Amino acid sequence: MSVQPLRNLRRGIKTFIVTRLDWVWTNQLIRSVTEEAGEKSLGSEDKRLRKASEWRIVVFNHESKQKHEDEPVSTQTIREYLECLWKQYQKADRKTRGAILDEISRNLGIHRKSATRLMCRRYAPRSLQGFKGGRKRRYSELAKRHLERLWRAMGFMWPQRMKAALKDWLPHDDHPECSESVKVELLQMSASTIGRLLKEARAELRRRLNTGTKRAVRRFVTEVPLRNLGETPPQMPGHCEVDCVAHCGGSLSGVFAWTVNFTDIATGWTECEAIWGKNGVAVRRALKAIERRLPFPMKALYFDNGNEFLNEDVIRGFAVKDRKEPLNVFRGRPYKKNDQCFIEQKNYTHVRSLWGYGRFDKEASVALMNDIYRKEWRQMQNFYCPQQKLVKKLRFGAKVKRTMDDPETPFSRLKPLLGSAEASALDLARSQINPFKCRHNQRVKLRRILRDYEGEMAPSEWGKMANA
C-alpha cells in the first residue's frame, strides 16, 4: 500500500475517534493500521489517538461481540464511522479500497460483500438515515384534496378530459379554501399526474359501485340486533344464514337476475331461489318459497346489512306477519363478510359453480333457473353431495392447521335431529332420486338457458357445471 493513501486513512480514523469519545474502537483500529503499514510508527501527529487509547474507552471489534458488552454501540455511531471510511473509499485506488473493505469487515464483523455494498452506495451511510429517496413533491396536499373534490363535481371525468376542462371550470369555482395558488397548481398538472393523484379515489369509487349491497334504512339498522359472535348457534336445524348473489356479469347497471342463497348452519342444508331484480318484496317471496321446501322449521335468520333484508317487507312481512311467534333476526357487522361465513362459502359451491359469472338479464331466465334450483340442484346438493365442517384451527407461525370432520351429506346430518315421521318422509324422498339422472337433466336445462345468451356471454363466464 502506498504511503499517502494510508496516511489519509489514518487521519480519517483519528478524526472519528477524537470527535466521538463515547466509545472508540481504539485498540483494533491502531492494530489494523499498523499491520497494514508494516508496524510503522504512527508519528507525533497521532498523539491524541494514543491518548484516546490510554483512556481505555469501550473497544468494539469482531472478537468482543462474543462477550458481554458494557455499553452497546448505537446505530448512529456506526453510521458515522462508515461515513468517515466512505469518503476515503470514494477517492482511493483499487488496493486501498480493498484495505478499507477488510477494515470494515474485521471491525463490524460483517461479510466483505456487505461492506462493498455499503461503500458503493451513492450516498454516505450516515446520510441514508431519514433519507426517503426520490424527488420532492411538486404539488401540495391541499391541491390533491381539491383535485379529488373537483373530479367528483365535474362528473368523474377521465384525466385527459379533466385536464382540458379545468381551465374552463376553475374560474367558476368559489370554494373558500381553493386559493389562486392552488388553482395555479391544478392548471400546471399534466393528465398523467392527475391520473396518478386520483388513483386511490378512482379505486374507492370502483369498489363502491361494484358492490351489490346497499346500506339499509337507519331505522332497521338500529332495530335489528347484531348477532353474538362469541357464541356458536345451537347445533339444531333452524338457525340459518341468507345472502344475495348477483348475476350481473361485472356491471350492476340495469336489472338482472339474483339468487337468494339460504343455508342451515348446523346441517349445511342449502336452498336457492332466483329473483328478478333485488328488492324487499322479491326477497320476501323467495324466503317464503324456500321456507315451504325446508324439512325443518326456521328458528333464526342471520344476514348482512343490505337494504334487501333490512326493510319493511322482510323484517315485518316475513319475520313477524302470519306467525305465532316472531322469527328471530340478526345482522352481522358492516363490512365484515366473515360474520356470515357459512353462507359466503356456499355462494361459490352452490351458485357460482352452476351459473358462473355471466350476466343473466332476460326475465324469462328466472323461471328456468328456479326449475333447476327446486328440482335437480337441491336434490343433488342436499342428498348426494357430502360436506365437511371445520372442527378446529391451529396456527403455527405462518402455517395454519385445520382439522375437518368426516364428510357427510346434509341429509345424513339432519336425519338424526328429526322425529321419526319427518325422517321417514325424508328417506322416502331420497329413495326416489337417481343422482345420475339428476345430473343429466340439470346439464340439459342449463345448456338450454345458456343458448339464450349465445354471443352475449363468453364460455369463460360459464359455471364449471355447464361443461361437466
- Write the CATH number for 269: 3.30.420.10
Contacts 24+ apart (CB under 8 A), 444-448: 445/368, 445/371, 445/372, 445/376, 446/354, 446/372, 448/368
Strand order in the sheet with 239-246: 270-276, 257-264, 239-246, 300-303, 328-331
Q: Are 274 and 383 in the same domain?
A: yes
Is there a domain that residue 136 lies in? no
Q: Are 333 and 379 in the same domain?
A: yes
* DSSP bridge pairs for 402: 393
C-alpha cell at 369: 333457473
Q: Are 317 and 403 in the same domain?
A: yes
Is there a domain that residue 123 lies in? yes
Per-residue pLDDT for the chain (468 aa), expressed as one digit of tens each? 455 555 565 666 555 554 454 444 444 544 544 454 444 444 444 444 444 444 444 343 444 444 444 456 777 788 888 888 888 899 899 999 999 999 888 888 889 998 898 888 887 776 555 555 556 788 999 999 999 999 888 878 888 888 888 888 888 888 888 899 999 999 999 999 999 999 988 888 766 655 666 555 567 777 888 888 877 788 889 999 999 999 988 888 889 999 999 999 999 999 999 999 988 899 999 999 999 999 999 999 999 888 889 888 899 889 888 888 889 999 988 888 888 889 999 998 899 989 988 899 999 999 999 999 999 999 989 998 898 888 889 988 889 999 988 889 999 999 999 989 999 999 999 999 898 988 889 889 998 998 888 888 888 888 877 765
Last residue of a domain, one of 99, 128, 157: 128
Q: Which domain holds residue 23?
A: 3-128
DSSP state of 129: T
Q: Are 183 and 288 in the same domain?
A: no
Is there a domain that residue 135 lies in? no
Is there a domain that residue 423 lies in? yes
Q: Are 231 and 169 in the same domain?
A: no
Q: Are 30 and 77 in the same domain?
A: yes
Which pLDDT score is estimated for 439?
Answer: 87
With contact defined as beta carbons under 8 Å apart, do 227 and 331 qualify?
yes
Which pLDDT score is estimated for 42?
Answer: 42
C-alpha cell at 268: 349445511
One-character DSSP codes across 55-71:
TTPPP--TTGGGS--SS
Which pLDDT score is estimated for 165?
Answer: 87
- How many other CB atoms are there within 10 angstroms of residue 33's CB atom? 20
Q: Are 32 and 157 in the same domain?
A: no
Is there a domain that residue 89 lies in? yes
pTM, entire model:
0.58
Is there a domain that residue 181 lies in? yes
C-alpha cell at 221: 339498522
Q: Are 243 and 353 in the same domain?
A: yes
Residue 171's Cβ-side half-sphere holds a number of Cα atoms within 13 Å equal to 3
Is there a domain that residue 94 lies in? yes
Is there a domain that residue 133 lies in? no
Q: Are 248 and 347 in the same domain?
A: yes
Last residue of a domain, one of 163, 179, 209: 209
- The total of structural domains in the chain comes to 3
The span from the CA of 76 to the CA of 40, in Å, is: 32
Q: Are 261 and 361 in the same domain?
A: yes
Q: Are 104 and 237 in the same domain?
A: no
Last residue of a domain, one of 93, 128, 163: 128
C-alpha cell at 27: 485498540
Q: Are 422 and 290 in the same domain?
A: yes
